[in-house]
Amino acid sequence: MSTEAVSRKSQTVINGADILVEAMIRQGVDTVFAYPGGASMPLHQALTFRRDEIRTILPRHEQGGVFAAEGYARSTGKVGVCMATSGPGATNLVTGLADAKMDSIPLVAITGQVSRKFIGTDAFQETPIVEVCRAITKHHYLITRFEDVPRVIKEAFYVARSGRPGPVLVDFPKDVQLEKTSDEVDYDPAMRLPGYHPEPRAVNPAQIRQVLAAIKRSRKPIIYAGGGAINSGAAEELTKFAKRTGIPVTMTLMGLGAFPGSDPQSLDMLGMHGTVYANYAINEADLLLAFGVRFDDRVTGKVSEFAVHGKVVHVDSDPAEIHKNKEAHIPIIADLREVLAALNQAVTDGDLPEMQDWWAQLKQWKSKHPLTYKDPGNDQILPQYAIQELHRLTANRETYISVGVGQHQMWAAQFYKFDRPRQWMSSSGLGAMGFGLPSAMGVQAAHPNAISVDIDGDGSFQMNIQEMATLVCEKLPVKMFVLNNQHLGMVVQWEDRFHAGNRAHTYLGPIDHPEAVGQGSGKIGETYPNFVQIAAGYGIPARQVRSKKELPAAIEEMINTPGPFLLDIICPYQEQVLPMIPGGMTVKEMILE
């Protein structure tokens, strides 16, 4: 510990900001992503005196900070922490808080607030951030009493990580931050959370027997695993159960990595941009083992037509998810890891179903409808090929993948095989563009010796491009893998399918570019902006590639270059993500209804 930190700790008078920082340290916080301002200055002063215990990373935008905290949380399972000042600083966190709520990510966001006497007066940089975020946080606090600071922080972290994880907002008025005491502080006070009982229910042995009986009777079972399998730490038990029973596994976008994607039992991702064989299997299954899922519309399509031929077993820790979108024949409200552990302990050879015909059918579907793409036979770089090459060159190393939102996100989900949990960072429920780069930044802070890659599109990448400065200043060697097609690719795809190819503000280059109306050859000349020049402005090495033959060497250069690196990969904008049709709904109905 530094001399000034020792001096600070030995002081008999401390303020509210000091107490909050000490309370966070006692909750195991080692990294906070924080952007200062007038109403949060005392907090930053307190953080500087504890720099040996908490690393404070300065993002270049508060949204970058909250997305980075999410990357930290998603890749570790620990609570991510971000901090901003009042007013616009606080409102810049809103998208990240909504994202964490949708994807059940444990997060504590601390915002400075104007002094209590100014609250409600429309004071400078005042917003009622608790009211703004009420519907997009798991819980929220406005600290109005100095003595409540330790309790609020203890409760905030407990609520964020317990039960179904989620974001908690703590709004901290500046005068409470500055209030002082010389009394001894109780950092382990009793919590006051009446009505909040997140402790998982005990696994019911009778329900375990019901599930095993259903498995035994089935002939076409399938495991449908979601983000809950990762949040509950159930991936190991899930893999053990799947291998013991021989039941095929399909995963949601949030569930990738819960079961090894390269395993022969994996049917890969299901749903709108999932594989044909996974969606066929779901529709034909006579038993659906839904583990840690919420029957999202991008999975089910028309829910009344989804998995109509079989019995549904739904396991989730959140009672609100049971029967919400799909009726379950065997609903189990419990911790998924404990349920799977009980199943693994109880299952016998006599419980295993006959699945020879089922696997023969699955193999036929896989053979007839493989997850592939059409190679144009020239030297242009297709995004699917680029992602496959990235996987080939990084699969045997500790690698984490973050993505923005759009076509590149879906291609990454399809063509990068995730064999372990917490390897995949995606804004899945909210679909927030700009997530990729700051998320990768948070991952890198949590895993300094790993490879953290942001697979991004040129549209998403520009939304938080300023975080390249953070990479340099904080020595975070994030690799930026930009699939650049000069368009908002996913929207272009729907324009081509449903609007006769009419371009409605989806071209990202200069308006006088020959491709501006999307009717040219697909060859892109000078790209706009020039990402290589922008990277140089931040002091980051970069390279642009246009030729398939030069891509593998460029990826190797990216991986082996110390520090951050930007690889700008020029791709044709006409390439489309293969959309499948889950349930009974057409793709057009899904997009336009």
Residue whose C-alpha is closest to residue 424's, from 269, 570, 314, 559 = 269
Q: What share of the chain is helix, strand, coil (3-state, %, to 5)?
A: 40, 15, 40
Contacts of 10 (CB under 8 A, 6+ apart): none
Residue 279 pLDDT: 92
* Percent of the chain's residues with pLDDT above 90: 87
Query: Looking only at Cα atoms, what is the longest distance across the chain?
Result: 75
Residue 3 pLDDT grade (very low, low, confident, very high; cuts 50, 70, 90): very low
Residue tagged 């979108």 (tokens): 325
pLDDT tens digits along 303-323 = 888 888 899 999 999 999 999
Give the CA radius of gyration of the chain: 25
pLDDT tens digits along 395-436 = 999 999 999 999 999 999 999 999 999 999 999 999 999 999
Spatial distance between the Cα atoms of 141 and 340, rounded to a whole number of angstroms = 36
Residue 527 pLDDT grade (very low, low, confident, very high; cuts 50, 70, 90): confident
Spatial distance between the Cα atoms of 540 and 295, rounded to a whole number of angstroms = 42
Residue 518 pLDDT: 41
| Of the candidate ranges 4-13, 193-202, 282-291, the one whose mean pLDDT is the lowest | 4-13
Spatial distance between the Cα atoms of 545 and 586, rounded to a whole number of angstroms = 37
pLDDT tens digits along 239-274 = 999 999 999 999 999 999 999 999 999 999 999 999
Q: Which of 45, 53, 118, 125 is catalytic?
A: 125
Residue 125 pLDDT: 96
DSSP β-bridge partners for residue 311:
287
Residue 522 pLDDT: 45
Instruction: Note if the pTM is more than 0.85.
Output: yes
Active site residue 490: yes
Please give the residue that has the higher pLDDT: either 3 or 229.
Answer: 229
Spatial distance between the Cα atoms of 121 and 104, rounded to a whole number of angstroms = 34
Residue 497 pLDDT grade (very low, low, confident, very high; cuts 50, 70, 90): confident
- In the chain, what are the domains? 3-181 (3.40.50.970), 205-368 (3.40.50.1220), 383-570 (3.40.50.970)
Q: Which of 83, 251, 272, 490 is catalytic?
A: 490
Average confidence score pLDDT of the chain:
93
Spatial distance between the Cα atoms of 63 and 455, rounded to a whole number of angstroms = 18
* Percent of the chain's residues with pLDDT above 70: 93
Residue 303 pLDDT: 86
Q: Which of 124, 180, 498, 593 is catalytic?
A: 124
Active site residue 62: yes
Give the other-Cβ count within 10 Å of 302's Cβ: 16
Please give the residue that has the higher pLDDT: either 44 or 588.
Answer: 44
pLDDT tens digits along 188-216 = 999 999 999 998 889 999 999 999 999 99
Q: Which of 22, 62, 237, 389 is catalytic?
A: 62
Residue 511 pLDDT: 64
Helix (H, G, I), strand (E, B), or coil: what is residue 370?
A: coil
pLDDT surpassing 90 at residue 349: yes
Mean pLDDT of 486-500: 91
Active site residue 49: no
Please give the residue that has the higher pLDDT: either 139 or 523.
Answer: 139
pLDDT surpassing 70 at residue 591: no
pLDDT tens digits along 114-151 = 999 999 999 999 999 999 999 999 999 999 999 999 99
pLDDT tens digits along 223-234 = 999 999 999 999
Q: Which of 78, 101, 154, 174 is catalytic?
A: 174
CA distances to 112, 113, 129, 149 from 42, rounded to whole Å, are: 9, 11, 19, 14
